[in-house]
Amino acid sequence: MMLKGLFEAGFKATVAFALLNLAACGGGAQNSAIPTLTYAVGASGYSSPTSTESGLVEVRLDNATTAPHLVAVVRPKAGVTAEQVKTTLAQGGFEALEELVEMAGGVSAQPGQAAAVVLELRTGAHLLVGLKLSQDGPPEIPPGAVRDLEVKPRGGPAPTAPKPDVTAVGKDFSYEMPSSIKAGPKLWLFDNQGQHLHHLILFRLEEGKTLDDLKAWLADPQAAPPGEEAGFLLEISGGYREYARLDLPPGNYAAICFIVDHHSGKSHADLGMIQALTVTP
């Protein structure tokens, strides 16, 4: 799953990009009809609402701790209960969930900061899974970090979807997205139209490095990386979409999916989900 790919690839666990509050500057995300669900983590523990309505929901993570955190929204698959998911989390950690849940998306926040994404939630039982991130090891699920969430049918008109500045479509196994964008804050839409889980990792290449250098590093991750992580949209299951605002400086980038295909044993990047992106001034 997403976190496994990030840590195995040697990425920093902290978020090395500016993920801005979606209500903060244009892009249609100021639509007040989109409800906000706040997952808060602080010295006293974790808190979140127990219900929300289906459709577009802004999921906000308020991180008042000294460690980076992430919250993922998961929906148990048909025939799977929330208690089964909790038991699996306790026994095998977050990476053990892939066969049990649909991934609806999530958001990460640096210590003392807040961040938000807009997700499309379906009716039914969900779980908010909080993860404490570390550069020294796998993510930790602290006590109280797994919260129940019931998504109820929407009682009124559906809110208007935000208007994205950049749309990236995930397929099995490729991206459909622009090859060049302007620098600065942009509202991204990641639309997974495949059958598999996919995420969108943005990797900024060092001056003079190319996509071939990145591919060579992926084949030998013990070598020095040709750049660094610049941002990501968390993995989502097929048929899901998520919106996040990313602020990318000018440079040469690559969009990558590190999730491993269980049939071939290859990463999605090896199967074709790696694409160059130029960010111009």
Each residue's pLDDT tens digit, 68-121: 999 999 999 999 999 999 999 999 888 889 899 999 999 999 999 999 999 999
Which pLDDT does position 20 carry in this prediction?
41
Q: Give me the sign of the Cα torsion angle 97, 98, 99, 103.
A: positive
* pTM over cut 0.85: yes
Give 23's strand partners: none
pLDDT score of 32 more than 70: no
**What pLDDT is stored for residue 14 in this prediction?**
35
d(CA 97, CA 89) in angstroms, rounded, equals 7
pLDDT digits (tens, 9 = 90+) for 135-145: 888 899 999 99
Q: Beta-carbon neighbour count of residue 220 at 10 Å?
A: 8
Between 280 and 21, whose confidence is greater? 280
Categorize the per-residue pLDDT at 31 as very low, low, confident or very high, splitting at 50, 70 and 90: very low
What confidence category does residue 208 fall into, taking pLDDT thresholds of 50, 70 and 90? Answer: very high
Over residues 237-252, the mean pLDDT reads 97
Reported confidence tier of residue 125, pLDDT bands at 50, 70, 90: very high
Mean pLDDT of 9-35: 45
Task: Name the pLDDT band for 229 (thresholds 50, 70, 90).
Answer: very high
Provide the pLDDT for residue 28: 37
Q: What is the mean pLDDT of residues 216-222?
A: 90
Flag whether pLDDT at 10 surpasses 60.
Answer: no
Mean pLDDT within 33-61: 97
Long-range contacts of 78-86 (CB under 8 A, 24+ apart): 81/125, 82/125, 82/127, 82/148, 85/127, 86/127, 86/146
Q: What is the pLDDT of residue 138?
A: 87
Q: How confident is the model at residue 21 (pLDDT cuts 50, 70, 90)?
A: very low
Average pLDDT in the 251-263 region? 93
Provide the pLDDT for residue 221: 84
pLDDT value, residue 195: 95
CA 83 to CA 77: how far, in whole Å? 12
Confidence of residue 262 (pLDDT cuts 50, 70, 90): confident
Measured between alpha carbons, how far apart are the two ends of the chain, in Å? 34
pLDDT averaged over the chain? 89
Q: Please determine, for residue 27, whether its predicted confidence score (pLDDT) is greater than 60.
A: no
Cis peptide before 173 (omega within 30 of 0): yes
Share of the chain above pLDDT 70, in %: 89
Q: What is the pLDDT of residue 7?
A: 39
